[in-house]
C-alpha cells in the first residue's frame, strides 16, 4: 500500500486527487475501522492510519476518515482547546483549505469564513498569495498552513498576510520545518522533481525552513509565539492521535 500511495501522490495532479478523495475516503474509513488510533477531528477510531509522503513516506499518519495529517490534528486540538475560534465571532481567511476542516469551519455560525487559493477546486476565491484582492486590515484570523514553502517570494507573501490581517488579529502559519537547521535552505537551481522531493521533502516545495522562520515573520512585523502544543499532552494521547511530538505551531499576532 505504501508504494501505491507514493505512485498516486507523485503522478496524479493535486486538484484531481482532491476530487477522487471524496469517493475513496468512506471506503477507507470503513475497512480500517478499529480502536487503536483516534482522529480527534471527528472522533472516529481505526486499527491503523495510512502512509503519506511525496518523497520518503511516513507510516500511520493519514486519517482514513478526514484525511487529516499530524499537523491538521494538532491544529484542531489547539484551536479547540486554546482559542475562541469555535465560539467567538470572527472574520476568517483560510488559504488552501484542507478537506478535514473545510465543511466543519463553514458550518460554524460564529465565523464569516472565506477560503482562497490559486489552484484549489474547493476554494471560494482564486488568488495569488503575493497579490491578494482583499482590503487592508480585513481579517481577524488567517490560517495559512503548508503554503509558504511553495512560494518563491515568501517575503512578499508574508507582507500580504500582514497587510490583510486586522490589528489585534492572529494567524497560524504552519510550515514543514527542520528544527535542527538554524537557517532556511533554498536553491532555485534545483528544478528536477525527484531531486526537489529528495532535498525539500516534496516535488513542489522550494525551500526547507529552519529555526529562522520565526524571526523572518517577526521582521515582517508580526509578534510570534512558538507553541509546542504536544508538550501539554500525555504520551498516550500523542500516540493515540498520531501526532508529531515537538512540532511547533507558529501563532502570529498583529
The residue among 69, 98, 116 that closes a domain is 69
Please give the Cα distance from 55 to 239 (Å, whole number). 23
Q: Does the pLDDT of residue 86 top 50, yes or no? A: yes
**Same domain as 109, residue 234:** yes
Arithmetic mean of pLDDT over the chain: 88
Name the residue range of residue 90's domain: 71-253
User: 93-122 pLDDT, tens per residue?
Assistant: 999 999 899 999 999 999 999 999 998 888
Cα 11 to its chain centre, rounded Å, is: 21
The pLDDT of residue 134 is 98
Which residue's C-alpha cell is 514553502?
Answer: 149
| Sign of the Cα pseudo-torsion (136, 138, 139, 140, in order) | positive
Q: Does the pLDDT of residue 17 top 60, yes or no? A: no
Is pTM, for the whole model, over 0.85? Answer: yes
Q: Does the pLDDT of residue 41 top 50, yes or no? A: yes
Q: Which of 214, 243, 208, 212 is nearest to 226 (CA)?
A: 214
**Same domain as 79, residue 21:** no
The pLDDT of residue 185 is 93
Rounded to the nearest 5 degrees, what angle is found at the Cα of 191, between the Cα atoms of 187 and 194? Answer: 110
**Same domain as 104, residue 50:** no
Domain count, the chain: 2
Rounded alpha-carbon distances, angstroms, from residue 239 to 6, 32, 57, 138, 247: 24, 17, 18, 38, 14
**Same domain as 91, residue 131:** yes
**Same domain as 108, residue 210:** yes
Under 8 Å between Cβ of 247 and 71: yes
Percent of the chain's residues with pLDDT above 90: 70
**Same domain as 151, residue 48:** no
User: 195-227 pLDDT, tens per residue?
Assistant: 887 888 778 899 999 999 999 999 999 999 999
Q: Does the pLDDT of residue 29 top 60, yes or no? A: no
**Same domain as 218, residue 99:** yes
**Same domain as 129, residue 51:** no
Q: Which of 116, 118, 82 is nearest to 102 (CA)?
A: 116
Q: Does the pLDDT of residue 18 top 70, yes or no? A: no
Reported as a pLDDT band with limits 50, 70 and 90, residue 24 is: low
Relative to beta strand 111-117, strand 125-126 is: parallel
Amino acid at each position: 500500500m505504501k508504494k501505491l500511495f507514493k505512485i498516486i501522490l507523485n503522478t496524479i495532479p493535486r486538484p484531481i486527487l482532491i476530487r477522487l478523495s471524496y469517493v475513496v475516503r468512506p471506503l477507507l474509513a470503513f475497512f480500517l475501522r478499529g480502536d487503536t488510533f483516534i482522529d480527534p477531528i471527528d472522533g472516529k477510531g481505526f486499527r491503523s492510519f495510512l502512509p503519506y509522503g511525496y518523497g520518503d513516506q511516513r507510516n500511520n499518519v493519514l486519517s482514513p476518515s478526514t484525511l487529516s495529517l499530524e499537523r491538521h490534528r494538532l491544529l484542531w486540538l489547539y484551536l479547540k482547546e486554546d482559542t475562541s475560534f469555535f465560539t467567538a465571532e470572527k472574520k476568517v481567511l483560510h488559504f488552501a483549505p484542507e478537506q478535514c476542516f473545510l465543511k466543519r469551519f463553514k458550518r460554524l455560525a460564529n465565523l464569516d469564513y472565506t477560503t482562497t487559493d490559486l489552484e484549489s477546486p474547493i476554494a471560494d476565491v482564486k488568488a495569488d498569495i503575493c497579490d491578494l484582492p482583499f482590503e487592508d486590515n480585513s481579517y481577524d484570523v488567517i490560517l495559512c498552513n503548508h503554503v509558504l514553502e511553495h512560494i518563491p517570494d515568501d517575503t512578499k507573501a508574508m507582507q500580504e498576510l500582514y497587510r490583510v490581517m486586522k490589528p489585534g488579529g492572529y494567524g497560524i502559519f504552519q510550515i514543514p520545518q527542520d528544527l535542527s537547521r538554524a537557517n532556511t535552505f533554498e536553491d532555485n537551481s534545483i528544478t528536477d522533481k525527484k531531486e526537489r522531493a529528495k532535498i525539500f521533502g516534496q516535488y513542489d516545495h522550494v525551500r526547507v525552513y529552519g529555526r529562522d522562520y520565526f524571526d523572518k515573520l517577526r521582521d515582517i512585523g508580526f509578534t510570534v509565539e512558538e507553541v509546542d502544543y504536544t508538550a501539554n499532552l500525555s504520551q498516550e494521547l500523542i500516540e493515540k492521535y498520531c501526532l508529531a511530538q515537538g512540532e511547533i505551531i507558529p501563532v502570529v499576532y498583529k
